[in-house]
Amino acid sequence: MPILGIGLHVIVAIFFAIHAMKTSRNSYWLFILFAFPLLGSIVYFFAEYMGDMRDNPAARKAYRAMEKVLDPDRELRDATREYDISPSVQNRMRLATAELNKGNAAAARDHYRACLNGPLADDPDLLAGLARAEVETGEGDAALRSLDALARARPDFHPDTVALLRARACALSRPQAETLAAFEAAAQLGSGLEAKARFIEWLVSVGQLDAARRIQADIEQSTKHWPAHARDLNAPWFKLARQALAQGEAAR
């Protein structure tokens, strides 16, 4: 795609060339970048530029996100290898979290439960991870017990995350009135859209379409001026809320 008569790959090469000169990289990079603009830029990005990114907190976050896209199984692979080499509680917790993030909730639950017998039994990350895994496997009462243990160990631990897990656990095993109160609390605490989206999903599942519509209208109103990056970050929850509501409307 030409910009001002210059190919985009050339502009990218110029950007990396400036970076190379500013950071006193070896001069052979200039030859590589301009002799092979596209391939050279790719090689420079991974060989040099990415290293600088790791030294910048914001860039590290972007780098980790890029890694997840390029190699989504890397963390699970690394966690499995580390646990095989040294089956410590810490390595087992890391493996449990990796399994959970890959959608393997039952495996994650079993690893977390095994960790409860070790020295980190009161670790808040362990208890929160276990509760999340139990929610994902449909074990509402077990998740609530894990959340109660977490409240005793660290009552101030990520209130928004805990409130949403409690609401989702209640939806699996508690009466509607208790679940409604739990979701209302989670929706008030949550800074993103996940709590409201899951609230809509639950309301639709119990036939409360009018309440679901009101929350959807509130979402549309409160997010209409959000910048693009915020909308992108919450895209899965926009989608979940709209799909749930559409399915509820279609089922009427």
How much is the pLDDT for 5?
Answer: 38
For residues 113 and 154, state if they share a domain. yes
Angle in degrees, 0-180, between the axes of helices 57-70 and 74-85, rounded to the nearest 10: 90
Query: From the CA atom positions of the chain, what is the Rg in Å?
Result: 24
How much is the pLDDT for 161?
Answer: 96
The torsion angle over the Cα atoms of residues 3, 7, 13 and 18, rounded to 10 degrees, is: -30
Per-residue pLDDT tens digits for 10-43 = 788 888 888 878 777 888 788 888 888 888 888 8
Least confident of 91-100, 105-114, 220-229: 220-229
pLDDT, the chain, mean? 88
Provide the domain limits for residue 149: 75-182
What CATH number is given to the structural domain containing 82?
Answer: 1.25.40.10
For residues 198 and 178, state if they share a domain. no
Q: How many domains are contained in the chain?
A: 2
The last residue of one of the domains, among 182, 208, 225, is 182
Per-residue pLDDT tens digits for 96-112 = 999 999 999 999 999 99
Per-residue pLDDT tens digits for 39-54 = 888 887 877 777 666 5
Going by C-beta distance under 8 Å and a sequence separation of 6 or more, which residues neighbour residue 232?
A: none
Per-residue pLDDT tens digits for 110-150 = 999 999 988 899 999 999 999 999 999 999 999 999 999 99
For residues 165 and 241, state if they share a domain. no
For residues 82 and 111, state if they share a domain. yes
pTM: 0.75
The last residue of one of the domains, among 162, 182, 202, is 182
The answer to whether residue 216 is domain-embedded is yes
49 or 80, higher pLDDT? 80
Q: Of 104, 58, 54, which is closest to residue 79 (Cα–Cα)?
A: 104
174 or 232, higher pLDDT? 174
The answer to whether residue 199 is domain-embedded is yes
Q: How far is CA 36 from CA 11, 13, 43, in A?
A: 13, 9, 10
**What are residue 6's DSSP bridge partners?**
3
For residues 156 and 215, state if they share a domain. no
The answer to whether residue 9 is domain-embedded is no
